[in-house]
Structure 1
């Protein structure tokens, strides 16, 4: 992954060079002040897309193919699908889970470290603000074309590649190592959350990763968490774009002042989410005893 990241950074600079008229100084100016110019949004999305492809795609694919000596495609199907509609069901479960996850986002934002770690807390809050500013800038789509590019990079690529790494590779490796699916799912979810380097979003992202992990384990099909991941990210992008274009939503105010979801909204959506998840489990594991679900060898 580190090798893929370094190669991705190099390739991404080459790809955006024509955008800046082959002026390297302009690219360095952009990297020094990423949110300083609206014209930076498109090249930054391109850089993020190429870097993500190499980091989460090319590097791990090479690892599994040439180090393991096995086809990475075997990771996509651990067992026969009992119902192809499970892929769509995974996306629906994520939509039902959004209010519950939102409550954990609010809870995580309220966490405070002991006084002895005050300096660390201030550093993490400063990092959080910087990441929020970058996210706000990238979500400030000025045209439908930027929105489509953002959807491809942030929703499609991230959904496919991150699930390939964290569920397809890591979760399967941990499962083979320990023989305990729950441990494999939660450790993979912790790594998934930690690698995003957002302390004040760690808890909800870990829970989301675990949800993706169970969707994969129960269905045995990597397309299920990939589509669920896509739906989760696409929901954020579509909400931001529609809010800005039609409702004059202030994204900065929404992102920097996280509000707890409505109690009644949580009260209604959470049982629906749990019920849908249980139904998914029953349908996807029907006729396949839990202990006999094959693992990757």
Structure 2
């Protein structure tokens, strides 16, 4: 049986090669970033990052490493893999823009109306308790969560509109592009071919997407976002639909954090008890309805006639 994918390399081999390429680029990017920091900021900030970790005093240096060791490699890795390894960028990256523009409206609506549902998942996740013999694992997870939250807080300590726009560009747009072409483009395609089941491919890619962030007490909402993004791509055939959804999610967090810090709004972005169970139920129903409409918009008239 043949398909639109590359048949020369087994999907498991493809996944291994993609991981090696991407992590190799991340290591190389970290070295380049360290060189840039040394050149423009001096040796002391670099040593401070290595010894003391992330602090407000090295926020500029942290942005450099964010771009060179994470953002760029996460995009370049899947591009190199799709272009030069499997040599089918169209099938693996799915960068086409030939889709119904109404899908972007539907993606926006899904991201907005699913907000209470995401809050519910966060609250469920936060109540996760491990048995006594796994307390060491739980403590490691909580420490990882605390460190990630600290780094995010420092990066988003936005004091001006220009800093907010920079964060919107890097955290909002560029991160969305990089992560979506990696996870929903290449990885979801590989897992779908490996399992011969597009739905299983979506869930496996979403699980990996959530786990790789090393924020375990936010695992469930990030997993569900990954599933949302996966179906956006599966039904539209374009990764740009999931990039748009990812940008809305990240960009909203950036803008709301900035407005809160500027005391323009009173809603604390870290408050996870804004909605009630009525809101959660309504959110679930509307989100499912929106996905139904999204799916209908991607079905051609010929396909509709056969349903």
TM class by shorter chain equals: 0.7 to 0.9
Q: Could you say which structure has the greater relative contact order, defined with CA pairs below 8 angstroms and 6 or more residues apart? A: 1
Specify the alignment match of 1:152 in structure 2. 169
Specify the alignment match of 2:278 in structure 1. 264
Gap change, CA 1:275 and 1:104, over 3 Å in 2:
same
Specify the alignment match of 1:36 in structure 2. 55
Judge conservation of contact 2:82–2:93 (CA < 8 Å) in 1.
Answer: no
Report the alpha carbon displacement of residue 264 of structure 1 after superposing the two structures with TM.
Answer: 3.2
Q: Does residue 1:278 correspond to 2:292, yes or no?
A: yes
Gap change, CA 1:79 and 1:226, over 3 Å in 2:
closer
Once the two structures are superposed, what CA deviation does each residue of 1:205-228 show, in whole Å capped at 9, x if it has no partner?
111101100111011111100100
Judge conservation of contact 2:111–2:248 (CA < 8 Å) in 1.
Answer: yes
Q: Does residue 1:143 correspond to 2:157, yes or no?
A: no
**Whole-angstrom CA distance in 2 between matches of 1:278 and 1:173:** 26
Judge conservation of contact 1:88–1:227 (CA < 8 Å) in 2.
Answer: no
Q: Does residue 1:14 correspond to 2:35, yes or no?
A: yes
Q: Which residues of 2 match residues 45-60 of structure 1 at below 5 A?
A: 45-60=63-78
Once the two structures are superposed, what CA deviation does each residue of 1:267-295 show, in whole Å capped at 9, x if it has no partner?
333322221111111111243649x9xxx
Gap change, CA 1:288 and 1:151, over 3 Å in 2:
farther
Counterpart pick for 1:5 among 26, 41, 55:
26
Q: Does residue 1:179 correspond to 2:196, yes or no?
A: yes
**Whole-angstrom CA distance in 2 between matches of 1:172 and 1:5:** 22
**Whole-angstrom CA distance in 2 between matches of 1:248 and 1:78:** 38
Specify the alignment match of 1:208 in structure 2. 225
> Structure 2: any 5+ residue segments left out of the alignment?
1-21
Q: Which residues of 2 match residues 153-168 of structure 1 at below 5 A?
A: 153-168=170-185
Gap change, CA 1:41 and 1:79, over 3 Å in 2:
closer
Once the two structures are superposed, what CA deviation does each residue of 1:64-93 show, in whole Å capped at 9, x if it has no partner?
221112335863258952x12212321221
TM-score normalized by structure 2?
0.84
**Whole-angstrom CA distance in 2 between matches of 1:55 and 1:288:** 41
TM-score normalized by structure 1?
0.87
Report the alpha carbon displacement of residue 260 of structure 1 after superposing the two structures with TM.
Answer: 6.5
> How many residue pairs align between the two structures?
284
> Structure 1: any 5+ residue segments left out of the alignment?
293-297
Q: In structure 1, the residue corresponding to 2:136 is in which secondary structure? A: helix
Q: In structure 2, the residue corresponding to 1:246 is in which secondary structure? A: coil
Report the alpha carbon displacement of residue 100 of structure 1 after superposing the two structures with TM.
Answer: 0.5
Specify the alignment match of 1:131 in structure 2. 148
Gap change, CA 1:176 and 1:194, over 3 Å in 2:
same
Judge conservation of contact 2:92–2:189 (CA < 8 Å) in 1.
Answer: no
Q: Does residue 1:190 correspond to 2:207, yes or no?
A: yes
**Whole-angstrom CA distance in 2 between matches of 1:164 and 1:248:** 34
Q: In structure 1, the residue corresponding to 2:220 is in which secondary structure? A: helix
